[in-house]
Amino acid sequence: MTERDQLDRSRRRMLLGFLVGFGVWEGMSIARALLGRASLPGVVRHGLFVVSLVGWAYCCVQLIHMIRWGRRVRRDPELTASLNDERVELARLKSWRVGFFAVLVAQAIPLLAPIPAIVGGRLTILVGLTASIGSYLAFDRE
Amino acid sequence: MPAEVLQNTLRVERARRDLTQEQLADLVGVTRKTINTVENGRFVPSTLLALKLARALQVPVETLFFLAPAAGTK
């Protein structure tokens, strides 16, 4: 396998890892914020916090990998161009569009359910990010 | 106007020149996945990429890409 394909594959892995980490982190935080209002047993609350923390840590690890990946790729303009070829650009554009509409839909959730503003904000970020990265991974499939 | 779809002979021409998808990707400066998706008809390349592919395979672009009637149309 060429270096280009290895980097392409590792980009996919990093994005998937980031998606999972971010989903767990924010998902658990939102669950804590929503369920916290009810009288939850301490074990459950702490459990959600620990899972959320693990998600955050995993997310951070993936971010560090992404920064290192970016530095490695930027050193070679030819590699940068081929890793961002027109198919990748198209997948990126389409996934941004999916993310945009997902955010619009997420904005309607607080209108339908009475949730705190901070939870609404976090939900918007979670939905937008998950939809755009998830759809990118789907469009980028062979 | 009858419906038409873009088809290609990329896989055939690549095999004729004994090139792997990776080698062809290297020649035109894209990822192997892009070559694979073009071959499978999942991705329609731009004119620029089509010309690059034709040049790399040393065939006219019309040999590589052509319009064919869509399935179910006469």
* Residue from B24, B33, B35, B40 to probe the interface with A (highest A Cβ count within 10 Å): B33
Cβ–Cβ < 8 Å for A100, A135: no
Q: Does A86 touch chain B (CB under 8 A)?
A: yes
Q: What is the distance in angstroms between the CA of the first residue and the CA of the last residue of chain B?
A: 11
pLDDT in tens, A16-54: 999 999 999 999 999 888 887 566 788 888 888 899 999
Q: Is B67 helix (H, G, I), strand (E, B) or coil?
A: strand
Q: From CA B60, how far away is CA A52, in angstroms rounded?
A: 57
Flag if B30 and A86 touch (Cβ within 8 Å). Answer: yes
Closest-CA distance of chain B to residue A30, Å = 37
Closest CB to B36: pick one of A2, A78, A142.
A142
Give how far the C-alpha of residue B49 lies from the chain's centroid of Cα atoms, to the nearest Å. 9
Closest-CA distance of chain A to residue B27, Å = 11
pLDDT of residue A50: 93
Please provide residue B71's backbone torsions phi and psi, each rounded to the nearest 5 degrees.
-60, 135
pLDDT of residue A39: 67
pLDDT of residue B47: 95
Flag if A142 and B22 touch (Cβ within 8 Å). Answer: no
Alpha helices in chain B, H assignment, sequence order:
10-16, 21-28, 32-39, 47-57, 61-64
pLDDT in tens, B10-55: 999 999 999 999 999 999 999 999 999 999 999 999 999 999 999 9
Dihedral angle computed from the Cα positions of residues A6, A136, B23 and B7, in that order, rounded to the nearest 10 degrees: 160
ipTM of model: 0.85
- Ranges of chain A with pLDDT below 50: none
Task: Please give the model's pTM, rounded to 2 decimal places.
Answer: 0.87
pLDDT in tens, B61-73: 999 999 988 876 6
